[in-house]
Amino acid sequence: MTGRRGEPGMTVQSILTAKGTEVVSTSAKATLREAAEAMTKGKFGALVVSESGETVDGILSERDIVHMVAEHGAAALDLKVGDAMTANVVTCNRTDRIDDIMAQMSERHFRHMPVIEDGKLVGMVSMTDIMRKKLADLHHEASALRDFIRGH
Ligand code: AMP
């Protein structure tokens, strides 16, 4: 694998092609209880906070909810998403290389990155999506090697 920038299989776009572009967002005015319910229902670990559904106002991950529960106890569930979210969101583009995104997540200690195009939300990539893609690529490569050996 050469890993050149823009190579389709190596970019964020290849993940969006596999998983789709739907992003579930929440409002800063929603409660943490509502956010936790949405995360459980959708089976994901973070929600983009957006009033318009297009721009990114913040990100709320399960870790933010755990943090608030540790600090405020059960009362945390009635607090607002806006009180717990991270407002300074690191985003990426469709053409970014997956390895670069992975390095950023690892360095900055988070597992989710909204994908932005022309200032608008067009997808979400998580560490799980990246792991899934890496595993699929490894299977693909192993199968190509097996075919090569069998054919010779
Ligand atoms: P995570 O590991 O993604 O569950 O998130 C850990 C912490 O990083 C939480 O406080 C999140 O709000 C925050 N966080 C998650 N994703 C991002 C992101 N793309 N940019 C900035 N902060 C983030």
Residues with CB under 6 A from ligand 1: 45-46, 59, 61-64, 86, 89-90, 110-113
Q: How many CB atoms lie within 10 A of CB 76?
A: 20
Q: Which of 137, 152, 139, 149 is nearest to 11 (CA)?
A: 137
Here the tokens at position 84 are: 């717990």
Please give the class, per CATH, of domain 8-150: alpha beta
pLDDT (tens digit, 9 = 90+) per residue, 34-78? Answer: 999 999 999 999 999 999 988 999 999 999 999 999 999 999 999
Report whether pLDDT(6) > 60.
no
CB half-sphere exposure, 126, CA atoms < 13 A = 17
Q: Which residue has the higher pLDDT, 140 or 83?
A: 83
Q: What angle do CA 6, 11, 13 make, to 5 degrees?
A: 105
Report whether pLDDT(82) > 80.
yes
Q: Which of 103, 68, 105, 77 is nearest to 89 (CA)?
A: 105
Q: Which of 61, 60, 57, 59 is nearest to 120 (CA)?
A: 57
Ligand 1 binding pocket mutation candidate from 57, 67, 86, 130 (most atoms within 8 A of CB): 86
User: Is the CB of residue 130 less than 8 Å from the CB of residue 15?
Assistant: yes
Residue 8's pLDDT band (cuts 50, 70, 90): low
Q: Give the pLDDT score at 15.
A: 96
User: Is the CB of residue 130 less than 8 Å from the CB of residue 29?
Assistant: no
Residues composing the chain: 152
Kindly report the backbone phi and psi dihedral angles of residue 86, in degrees, each rounded to the nearest multiple of 5, phi listed first: -95, 120
